[in-house]
């Protein structure tokens, strides 16, 4: 599996885009503004979109993607998410008020897009590439994802705060190689992190103490104007490992 970071920022501007990752040529993990970095030919190849949660910075480009390439394809794009997230997409986005319902365009028998519900711990196998929803702890129902090629695995936590349910699961992954975990706020905004169910450096440090595996750690969802400060704070408090800042166009092969 080859994973390319299309966007990993806490906002837009200054070459920052919100969360989206491309696996090989046909799978998206989240569909934030980073999707805009793909060419038209690349957009046409996307068959699957796995969504962590319903917040706009993770879903905003689904409508534009489907609208742009739906008529060029021979089969619908499948959007995977837990049922509460799918319910939010149906009710608040693809509702004919904010955007057309592409599960009924051109018609319900031949749609440009379809939904598929996923559940924590139940893997989706796409030609030997296993993608498994993992527990997350955010202000809306959310998951992270485990991506397993068979040779190695990458875990993306999604947006989350303190998450005791996650670590017993990831600590049993035999071929665990990469961890992508968020830190959305610097330390002086810890109160905001707590209220919005994100991580800041001190909370992240406590979470990483629960990690029993030796893996490469990358920090995502850093905010413009605070990213360097937040990384310095993380590196000062995290012991035994050296987390790196996740960057747009980073590539992971596993």
The three-state (H, E, C) secondary structure of 83-99, written as one string: HHHHHHHHHHHCCCCCC
Decide if pLDDT at 102 tops 90.
Answer: yes
Residues 196-216 have pLDDT tens digits of: 999 999 999 999 999 999 999
Name the band, by pLDDT with cuts 50, 70 and 90, for residue 152: very high
Q: How confident is the model at residue 3 (pLDDT cuts 50, 70, 90)?
A: very high
Burial of 24 (0-12, 13-18, 19+ CB in 10 A): middle
Asked if residue 239 has pLDDT above 90, the reply is no
CA distance 111 to 154: 32
Burial class (CB in 10 A: 0-12, 13-18, 19+), 127: exposed
What is the pTM assigned to this prediction? 0.97
Query: Residue 241 above 90 pLDDT?
Result: no
The full set of domain ranges for the chain reads 2-253
Give 193's contacts (C-beta < 8 A, 6+ positions apart): 161, 184, 185, 199, 200, 203
Residues 56-75, mean pLDDT to the nearest whole number? 98
What integer pLDDT is reported at residue 10 of this predicted model? 96
Given CATH 3.30.70.250, say whether it is the number of domain 2-253.
Answer: no
CB burial of residue 41 (10 Å; 0-12, 13-18, 19+)? exposed
Ramachandran region, residue 150 (left: φ > 0; alpha: ψ -120 to 50; beta: rest): left
Q: What pairs with residue 42 in β-bridges?
A: none
Mean per-residue pLDDT, 86-109: 98
Whether 94 has a pLDDT exceeding 90, the answer reads yes
DSSP-assigned letter for residue 223: P
Confidence of residue 84 (pLDDT cuts 50, 70, 90): very high
User: Residue 240: its pLDDT value, please?
Assistant: 83
Residue 217 parent element (H or E): strand 216-220
Q: Which two tokens stand for residue 4?
A: 């390319």
pLDDT band at 62 (very low <50, low <70, confident <90, very high): very high
Rounded mean pLDDT of 162-187? Answer: 98
Task: Please identify which residue in the block is written with the tokens 């957009």.
Answer: 43
DSSP-assigned beta bridge partners for residue 126: 129
Q: What percent of the chain has pLDDT over 90?
A: 97
Eight-state DSSP code of residue 109: T
């Amino acid at each position: 599996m080859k994973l390319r970071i299309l966007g990993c920022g806490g906002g837009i501007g200054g070459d920052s885009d919100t969360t989206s990752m491309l696996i090989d040529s046909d799978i998206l993990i989240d569909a934030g503004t980073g999707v805009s970095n793909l060419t038209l030919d690349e957009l046409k190849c996307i068959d699957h979109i796995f969504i962590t949660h319903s917040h706009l910075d993770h879903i905003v480009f689904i409508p534009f993607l489907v609208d742009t390439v739906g008529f060029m394809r021979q089969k619908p794009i499948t959007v995977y998410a837990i049922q509460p997230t799918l319910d939010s997409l149906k009710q608040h986005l693809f509702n004919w008020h904010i955007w057309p319902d592409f599960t009924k365009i051109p018609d319900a028998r031949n749609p440009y897009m379809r939904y598929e519900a996923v559940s924590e711990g139940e893997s989706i196998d796409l030609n030997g590439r296993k993608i498994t929803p993992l527990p997350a702890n955010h202000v809306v129902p959310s998951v992270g994802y485990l991506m397993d090629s068979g040779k190695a695995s990458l875990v993306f936590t999604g947006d989350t705060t303190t998450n005791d349910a996650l670590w017993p699961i990831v600590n049993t992954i035999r071929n665990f190689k990469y961890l992508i975990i968020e830190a959305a706020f610097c330390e002086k905004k810890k109160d905001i992190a707590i209220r919005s169910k994100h991580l800041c450096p001190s909370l992240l440090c406590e979470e990483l103490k629960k990690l029993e595996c030796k893996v490469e750690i990358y920090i995502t969802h850093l905010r413009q104007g605070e990213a360097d400060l937040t990384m310095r704070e993380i590196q000062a408090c995290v012991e035994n490992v050296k987390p790196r800042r996740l960057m747009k166009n980073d590539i992971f092969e596993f």
